[in-house]
Amino acid sequence: MTEAALEADTAGVPDFRRMPVPDAIRWLAEHGEPADPRPEIDTASLVRRFPHLASVETEDRSVDGPHGPVPVRVHRDASATPTGRALVWVHGGAFIGGHLDMPESNWVARELAARGIPVVSVDYAKCLGDVHFPVPSDDVLAAWRFVTDAAADLVGVAPESLVLGGASAGGALTAGAVTRLRDAGEPLPAGLVLVYPVLHPNGPEASADVDHASPHGQLALNYAGSEAALADPHAFAGLGDGHGFPPTLVVVCERDELRPSGERFAETLAAAGVDVDLRIEAGAAHGHIDHPGDEGALRTIAAVADWVARDIRNHD
């Protein structure tokens, strides 16, 4: 997109999703993420649209991470029937965008909390400027460890009943976090939820062969920060063999370029003997749970709630 096109943007702010990846990264690093122009995605509007969310209460907290504060938000509904499970949830945004107020974080967390699954949603440093892996991964791990240490007070469950999950880039970060926890010999989540995740450097082909000229390849390298990190299963869990993972739900979208990555990872986990469920959301496209009220999004949220609330066996 040219400078003239940027200046002529009718909204006054460019749509960085339509910009070449290097330009988008530079623009976001300089200006920050613009406000979402969509109407009725703020919390007050969500409660008007979905009255069952009115009882969900939130609390913003800050976790001490190795690179600075990590924002988290606790969602609980005292009126909901407890399921005995809670979820630590990480939004997506191509590793360069996203925040706790986006529907993929805020709406999804509120919907699950209203179903008796308290949620701690997690933000993380974006890969802008000199920030690359492992910084956002470290942020997610810091938040996860904080929640496990304070689970009873924060979300009313034992640490052994915590599930970890994320969408898109958040799926990469949470699957990578599980890989790091496993390799460090730390306790693992009771389960892992991955919604349209990117788990390979080349998501559309579910491989390690990166096309550096493609947007997917450029975003992968920007996240990894180096060619060596592109091959690291701590960054892209799909490059590992999946052994030792907890029970995992993988949700992919029928109309999503990244669908092969999620499907291949589900196959990897199954081959490793992991209890894995693969759900293909018919007719859905990447990012569908960032659209409140979308029929596919409602189905996905219901499926996630059912899976999390079931008797997930603890990983030995």
**pLDDT tens digit at each of 316 positions of the chain:** 233 233 334 355 667 778 899 999 999 999 999 999 999 999 999 999 999 999 999 999 999 999 999 999 999 999 999 999 999 999 999 999 999 999 999 999 999 999 999 999 999 999 999 999 999 999 999 999 999 999 999 999 999 999 999 999 999 999 999 999 999 999 999 999 999 999 999 999 999 999 999 999 999 999 999 999 999 999 999 999 999 999 999 999 999 999 999 999 999 999 999 999 999 999 999 999 999 999 999 999 999 999 999 876 544 4
Residue 179 lies in a domain: yes
Which pTM does this prediction carry?
0.94
Residue 279 lies in a domain: yes
Residue 34 lies in a domain: no
Percent of the chain clearing pLDDT 90 (strictly above): 91
Residue 94 lies in a domain: yes
The torsion of the CA quartet 100, 295, 163, 114, rounded to 10 degrees, works out to 70
How far apart are alpha carbons 77 and 57 in whole angstroms?
6
Q: How many folded domains does the chain comprise?
A: 1
Residue 141 lies in a domain: yes
Class of residue 273 by CB neighbours under 10 A (exposed 0-12, middle 13-18, buried 19+) = exposed
Residue-level pLDDT at 12: 59
Residue 14 lies in a domain: no
Question: Which own/partner pairs from 290-293 qualify as long-range (CB within 8 Å, at least 24 positions apart)?
Answer: 290/102, 290/103, 290/104, 290/167, 291/103, 292/40, 292/41, 292/46, 292/49, 292/50, 292/103, 292/107, 293/49, 293/50
8 Å CB contact between 274 and 265: no
User: In residues, how long is the chain?
Assistant: 316
Residue 11 lies in a domain: no
CATH code at position 232 = 3.40.50.1820
Q: Which domain holds residue 301?
A: 58-309
Residue 216 lies in a domain: yes
